[in-house]
Amino acid sequence: MERRDVMIVVWASFFIWTVFNSLFLIPLPKRPQIATRPLVSVLVPLRNEERNVVRLVRSLKQLTYESVEFLLLDDQSTDRTYELLLKETKGDNRFQIRKGKPLADGWVGKVHACHQLAKQAKGAYLFFIDADVELKPMVIEQLLAVATTYDAKLVTGFPSFHPQSLPLVGKWLVPLQHFFILFHLPLYLANYTNMRATTAAHGACLFFERAAYEAIGGHASVKQEIVEDVMIARRMKSCGYRVILANVSTHIVCYMYETNKEVWSGFIKNVYVGLNRSPLFVMILTIFYGTFYVAPLFIAPFAITKGWTYALPLVIVIMQKAYVEWKTERSISTCYWMPLSVAAFIVLMYASMRAKRYEWKGRTYT
């Protein structure tokens, strides 16, 4: 077997692994069966979110779960967030609008806001979401069904990202999140063991059983963490609680970024921290992705003169990305960007590694 054939087998194995691994991503039930209906507190920290308030509140009002309270905390916003919250929730006694306290020393802003929300909540379950999401009407019933079926104390998942709202850089980078989960995270270990290393979570969907959340120390236990969602999920596992990573992409839609600058700033804040601040890991990923996901774009043109097999690597890469989009029920149009997406991600890793501090929503972190 020639070297080229061996490499094609490797690319094909990546695709096969992705398909196999995805079998262990827990789906949300279409018709959830719930024996009891405990009070669920939906908790939303907001900082300078005036563009998202109207959509968020209308989405919450359409939820079909009846035993619910909504706590929305304005985290020292400098725009019209608080004013719009009062206006949009007027007359609906399920909503409680709170003014957040000034950021305490030693805390990350969002974590501090979530901590305040949890202390004021009354629910047996705490459902933390981001202000830029839109929820489908039955999502609480579905998450509660997964939590009770699997005896999970935390159910989390990655939302889909509204394609029309994303700028160009966002179209390259944001959909990679689902790809990284289905390709790199061994989902059987993530969902059926308490191995900390096999943990993923997303702050747009953190559905906790309250007793377990309080037992681990809540958000106070991760008060200095920029990637607090993953860290609190790891802490849940360390304390012996089950964490389920579910496929929530069709039930929670995120309108995360509107400009290329926002995309870049958001990813720079999270990427290097998410890689455990390891230069070695950055180098390994650069070599791996450069070889297997960027190089096929430059190999493919040789198919014109040397035979169709030179195009196979690029075809397989696109198929792998298309499968991820299909599995998460999103448009497969982003799969054609894959080599460019990966190239942008490589540049992003180094930019994140070189950054001395990170700025987000008017606050600076190191």
Give dist(CA 8, CA 309) in Å, integer: 9
Query: Are 46 and 71 contacting, i.e. CB atoms less than 8 angstroms apart?
Result: no
Residues 6+ apart with CB under 8 A from 333: 163
Domain residue limits at 327: 3-22+275-357
The pLDDT value recorded for residue 365 is 62
Q: What are phi and psi of 135, to 5 degrees?
A: -100, 145
Residues 6+ apart with CB under 8 A from 352: 267, 268, 269, 270, 271, 272, 273
- What integer is the mean pLDDT of 13-37? 95
Q: What are phi and psi of 160, to 5 degrees?
A: -85, 165
Amino acid at 183: F
- What integer is the mean pLDDT of 241-251? 96
- What integer is the mean pLDDT of 209-226? 96
Query: Are 255 and 164 contacting, i.e. CB atoms less than 8 angstroms apart?
Result: no
Q: What are phi and psi of 363, to 5 degrees?
A: -120, 150
Q: What are phi and psi of 134, to 5 degrees?
A: -125, 125
Does residue 53 sit in the same domain as residue 112? Answer: yes
Give dist(CA 290, CA 309) in Å, integer: 20
With bands split at pLDDT 50, 70 and 90, how would you rate the model's confidence at 349? very high
Does residue 1 carry a pLDDT above 60?
A: no
Q: Does residue 256 or residue 79 have the better pLDDT?
A: 79
Give per-residue pLDDT as tens, 67-111.
999 999 999 999 999 999 999 999 999 999 999 999 999 999 999
The pLDDT value recorded for residue 359 is 67
Alpha-helix runs per DSSP H in the chain: 3-22, 53-61, 81-89, 109-120, 139-149, 168-173, 176-184, 187-192, 210-215, 228-238, 260-274, 279-289, 295-299, 303-306, 312-327, 338-354
The pLDDT value recorded for residue 366 is 63
Does residue 242 sit in the same domain as residue 161? Answer: yes
Does residue 216 carry a pLDDT above 80?
A: yes
Closest CA to 86 of 105, 72, 103: 72
Is 316 a member of any domain? yes
Does residue 342 sit in the same domain as residue 203? Answer: no
Does residue 171 sit in the same domain as residue 249? Answer: yes
Indicate the DSSP class of residue 220.
G
Give dist(CA 84, CA 55) in Å, integer: 11
Does residue 134 sit in the same domain as residue 68? Answer: yes
Does residue 360 carry a pLDDT above 70?
A: no
Q: Give the total number of structural domains in the chain.
A: 2
**Single pTM value for the model:** 0.93
Give per-residue pLDDT as tens, 126-148.
999 999 999 999 999 999 999 99
Q: What are phi and psi of 12, to 5 degrees?
A: -65, -35
Does residue 293 carry a pLDDT above 80?
A: yes
Does residue 315 carry a pLDDT above 80?
A: yes
Instruction: Assign residue 142 the CATH number of its domain.
Output: 3.90.550.10
Does residue 57 sit in the same domain as residue 8? Answer: no
- What integer is the mean pLDDT of 149-162? 94
> Residue 113's CB: how many other CB atoms inside 10 A?
26
Is 267 a member of any domain? no
Q: Does residue 362 or residue 249 have the better pLDDT?
A: 249
Instruction: Report percent pLDDT > 70 for the chain.
Output: 95
The pLDDT value recorded for residue 40 is 98
Closest CA to 234 of 199, 186, 191: 199
Q: What's the mean pLDDT when you consider all of the chain?
A: 92
Does residue 45 sit in the same domain as residue 118? Answer: yes
